[in-house]
Amino acid sequence: MSAKLFYNYEEDRSIMMKKDKEELRNWINNLEFIAKELRYLMEIESRIANQKTIKQELYNLQKENTEMVVEMRRYNNTTLGKLECDTVECDAFYLENHEKKRTEYLAFIQKYRLTKTKTFSLILLKTA
């Protein structure tokens, strides 16, 4: 179990930043796991189903996942790592940017799940 993320005496802005940093850490961890899982899926698919369209979808997801990991790490190191807002405009910019990253992440996860399900279904059909 990790240490307490925030304390009662902290300002809302500080709590928000800590929660967003933790959320981003989770996104990166999930994307890194997906990278490993995609390698397994690609190998299994090529051994059992060996279908060009699924193979291409998995390859595209792998490429997109790699790009997203790089982008999320860059976001962590540049924006979240150094952000010190002291104006409402700065807070609004940060919030809008973080929400955009969340939307991109969730869209990728949805696409990944659909392709993963399609791949498993195809593999099950080939082994039936």
Encode pLDDT of 70-120 as tens digits. 999 999 888 765 666 777 787 788 889 899 999 999 999 999 999 999 999
Q: pTM of this prediction?
A: 0.85
Give Cα separations from 91 to 6, 35, 75, 83, 127 (angstroms).
Answer: 19, 33, 16, 9, 53
Confidence check: pLDDT of 11 > 80:
no
Average pLDDT value for residue range 38-46: 95
Q: What is the pLDDT of residue 59?
A: 97
Task: Please tell me the distance from the alpha carbon of residue 29 to that of residue 98, in angstroms, as a whole number.
Answer: 17
